[in-house]
Amino acid sequence: MVEYRVAERRDNIDLVWSISELSSLFERRTNIDDFLQAVVDRIAEHLESDVCSVYLLDEAEGRLVLRATRGLDPGSVGTVSLMLGEGITGTAVKELRPIREARGNRNPLYKFIPGTNEERYQSFLAVPIRRGLSRIGAIVVQHQKQDQFTSHDTRALQAIAGQLASTLENVEMIMELHNRRAPLLPAQRGAAEQIACQCAAEGIAVGRVVHLGGGDDAIEPNHDDEDQETAFRRALERTDRQLEALHRELDERLADIASLIFGTHLLMLRDEEFSGLMVDGIRNGSRAHVAVRTIVDRYVEMLSASTNPRTREKTQDIRDLGSRLLRNLRPEQEDGGDLRGRVVLAHELFPSDLVRISAEHAEGIILTGGGATAHITILARSLEIPTVYLRAHDDGNLSDGDMVAVDAYEGVIHRDPSPALLERFERARELHRVDDTVRGEGPAFTRDGVAVELLANVNILHDVEVASRVGAAGIGLYRSEFPFLVRNDFPSEIEQLGIYRRIAERAPEGPLVFRTLDIGGDKLFSESEHSEANPFLGLRGIRFSLAHRDLFDEQLRAMLRAGVGRDLRIMFPMVASVEEFIVARSRVVAMQKELEAERIEHHRSPLLGVMIELPSAVELASDFARVTDFMSIGSNDLVMYLLAVDRANERVEQLYQPVHPAVLRAFSRIVDAGREHGCPVSICGEAGGDPQVLRFLIGIGLRSISADPARIPGIRTTIGQIDSHDVARLASELLSVSTTDDVLQRLGSM
């Protein structure tokens, strides 16, 4: 009876604590304290506990502060605190593990706090709230009866903590601002030009330039004769509606990465101190736009000075919110997306910035930081936002309001384009648009009938839909790090499960290859405390996962659970040795046993493979072929490491050559090793979509290509023009030459 009741209660929690329910719970609260109180009330009700409390970590003090409770003395809120490692709760957070006690007051770790009235309660369960390796706080539930909580309750509370983490991290940031005592309001004070660029994500963009987080001085204030407080409150309400609409739309379009993207904006907007200081400034005589700018600037200054790197990263959120409030102070401002008809100019972007820009329907992006990192380039392609970048320290003399036409195919920005040029650009858009009516189905065939499997590389859910439209036979690479990069943190197992399930449910029938986390190199968290002097040669790929087993295990569990009923394959990136693969494989087996013991449905026989993208892996290709179920050539990194060329470095980017003889010979060795040992080999880097390289790959016997979905129709067409015997002879010739010029000359003769 007890187990039945617990299982029924857990089901209720799963229903209540969906991401959408959590968002709506926040939407109904006007301030942070109300939200946290609603959280503990909801947990207590559905877990049937006498007490539920939320503690948040003050990193500067190293203390866990009681922020909300149901069941303890309300006067304890804000006054009771524990050091990390102090008491059961402090130990749970310090060691990042749940602690469940049948009789909490008998645990040697138990810390009695006078005045809280918790001495009446025996059962004790503390679960840390964390984002990956970062501590945020804890949820604690207690009950008067002993031994009331079970392992099912622990797992359910861990799921809730994971879903709460993003929102509570933003609450942590606002708490830090509230704790600062510096004054926030000072005294009141009275013919078309062509610009060369580099292409990151192809497309055509036409619109007026707007600086990301800048250009607010150009925004005209509200009319002089209008009551300033009335104008401000109207802007506040309009901003709230816009953010709610954007949040809903983003969740519909990009459900896998949308969760709580606008969380900081909404929290700050509804924080009574943030908006209240602006009202105070207006009542003291400031114009509304002056009060908004003043408070936003001061908050940005305080956030930038924070010792918490996650808090520092919120400065762009505050700037964005300030810009939106200023725009909404204009009486004529309409509700809706702000960036329609605009091309965004930015020095640098976080992945979360890129997602927000997509949600606001920007036409395109111009980056001025001297290059686009790999994850920004890949994500921009997935979001179908034309993106270019200018050389370092060059902004092309572009100003807010300039009319531009961005050709992200040829690498040209046209300032003040003529009507004739705009008409030509519109025709170019039509020409480059993927025509779903001529898509193929199943494998591609060479002219002489040799079949080549075409799979899709997937970064976000939108890519899966495109992959289905263009007839991909399955998913050859799902880059699982993108939800991590967009969130700039580590989603919980439950959050990952939701993302992976959506991918699995919508993916074409056929192989479904999940690659485990590839963090490092140019795919790093911004402002990360894990940053390294040389990240390309540091803790990245499988090294990162094996160094953080708890995160790796959570990801593997989520993948195994999401892959039920599919041809699931799990691939490990940046593997340098057979030993690394063996250890990674052992973690998969361990997680299968763990899920089996918990009676959680999961995939029982996934295929396990490796990315071949390091010189050491090329040397060990035959050894890998004997112990793995499949191999995939990661050509992007393999070319970089073989040639010692950073593809994002504009000074040497011309040396990045996928047709370099050493690269072609490495490709051939890998394919030969797979053929010799019966181990399937595919390629999932950009080289597979290059028509010249593709001829060589078919010639050496590669029969599986995984590429960006938008490139699949072109690859299918190229393969249809190839005769396998002709390209086999060509490949043999290319393997015998020793210079890149000779390779290009022979390819050109084809």
Tell me the three state secondary structure of residue 183. coil
d(CA 640, CA 643): 5
Residues 568/514, Cβ–Cβ less than 8 Å: yes
Catalytic residue among 247, 265, 375, 414: 375
226 backbone dihedrals φ, ψ, rounded to 5°: -95, 140
In which element (H, E) is residue 140 found?
A: strand 134-143
Q: What is the DSSP string of 672-683?
A: HHHHHHT--EEE
Amino acid at 284: N
Q: Which of 716, 666, 747 is nearest to 452 (CA)?
A: 716
d(CA 213, CA 232): 20
d(CA 707, CA 718): 14
C-alpha torsion sign, points 283, 288, 294, 297: positive
d(CA 576, CA 620): 9
CA distances from 57 to 122, 128, 248, 356 (A): 25, 10, 30, 28
**Token reading at 291:** 């009060």
Q: How many CA atoms lie within 13 A of 71 on its CB side?
A: 22
CA distances from 693 to 74, 290, 551, 674 (A): 68, 58, 37, 19
Catalytic residue among 197, 199, 679, 684: 684
Amino acid at 301: E
Q: How many residues does the chain have?
A: 750
Q: Which of 138, 380, 375, 167 is nearest to 259 (CA)?
A: 167
Please state, as a whole number, how many other Cβ atoms lie within 10 Å of the Cβ of residue 298: 19
The yes-or-no answer on residue 684 being catalytic is yes
d(CA 667, CA 671): 6
Q: What is the DSSP string of 230-266?
A: HHHHHHHHHHHHHHHHHHHHHHHH-TTT-TTTTHHHH
Residues 693/687, Cβ–Cβ less than 8 Å: yes
d(CA 52, CA 522): 42
Q: Is 578 exposed, middle or buried (0-12, 13-18, 19+ CB in 10 A)?
A: middle
Please state, as a whole number, how many other Cβ atoms lie within 10 Å of the Cβ of residue 289: 22
The yes-or-no answer on residue 548 being catalytic is no
Q: Residues near 740 by Cβ (< 8 Å), separated by ≥ 6?
A: 657, 659, 660, 661
C-alpha torsion sign, points 285, 290, 295, 297: negative
Amino acid at 532: E
Please state, as a whole number, how many other Cβ atoms lie within 10 Å of the Cβ of residue 114: 8
Catalytic residues: 375, 684
